[in-house]
Homo-oligomer: A and B are copies of this chain.
Amino acid sequence: EILGHIRRALGRNGPLAGRRVVVTAGPTYEPIDPVRFIGNRSSGKQGFALAQAALDRGAEVVLIAGPVALETPIGARRIDVGTAAEMAEAVWREAEAADVLLMAAAVADYRPAQSRPFKIKRGEGLTLELIPTVDILAGVAARRASAGKPHVIVGFAAETRDLLENAQAKLQAKGLDLIVANDVTEPGAGFAVDTNRVTLIDARGRIEPLPLMSKAAVAEAILDRVVALLSATGGG
């Protein structure tokens, strides 16, 4: 805890001093009934590392977290959410006053069409109708178009094949400034582990593959790019 306060003090004159950074982290859980849910394999570690790296650079940090078992970085304001819809509401509310939005959460793409009020009893078979969840980034883009904020939006693409193609398509479709692509099937990358291997792709098409490194180091690299993008856009 002392370390957290020291980091905060050291960051006070950092390149993100006076900037508000909103970070999403972790999975969302979409309820099937009161007991069961559809989840995704996200530990939240990369998002929490991003929050810490933003704090270290002097930013005011809002951390919107799905269900994870991680300590809040000292100095961050944490908002806990469960479902994609709850995350959307929190992101949309916070994004309008944010300079930077880092969407590291592994938000569910699908949810059950209905959530049942009572536990389904064991039976012979069951068909679950899934429907797409709300498109959080589409809502953010609409708000940026009207409010001018956030200045920098960074998305994440966790893929299992066609990594660069899928990530570039998402960058363009969602109007992102930067996308962090990682192949979660690679050893040492993705969920639960403390390391990650990512490729950064920006809106000008620049592709920068980073070596295997700790999630903290990945966060540093992303925040350095964010600082550069903020200067380039002249945001604020």
Over the window 86-124 of chain A, the binary record of Cβ atoms lying under 8 Å from chain B Cβ atoms (1 yes, 0 no) is 000000000000000000001011100000011111111
Query: Which chain B residues border A41 with CB–CB below 8 Å?
Result: 29, 35-37
Question: Residues of A within 8 Å of B, CB-based: how many?
Answer: 39
| Residue A40 interfacial (CB < 8 Å) | yes
Query: Which chain B residues border A6 with CB–CB below 8 Å?
Result: none
A39 touches which of B29, B126, B160, B184 (Cβ 8 Å): B29
Chain copies in the assembly? 2
| Residue A209 interfacial (CB < 8 Å) | no
**Of the 9-residue stretches A129-137, A146-154, A214-222, which lies at the interface with chain B?**
A129-137
The answer to whether B119 touches A159, judged by C-beta atoms less than 8 angstroms apart, is: yes
| Residue A127 interfacial (CB < 8 Å) | yes
Q: Could you write out 13 A-B pairs with CB less than 8 Å apart?
A: A34-B184, A35-B40, A35-B160, A36-B39, A37-B38, A37-B39, A39-B39, A69-B69, A110-B120, A110-B122, A119-B160, A122-B132, A125-B131
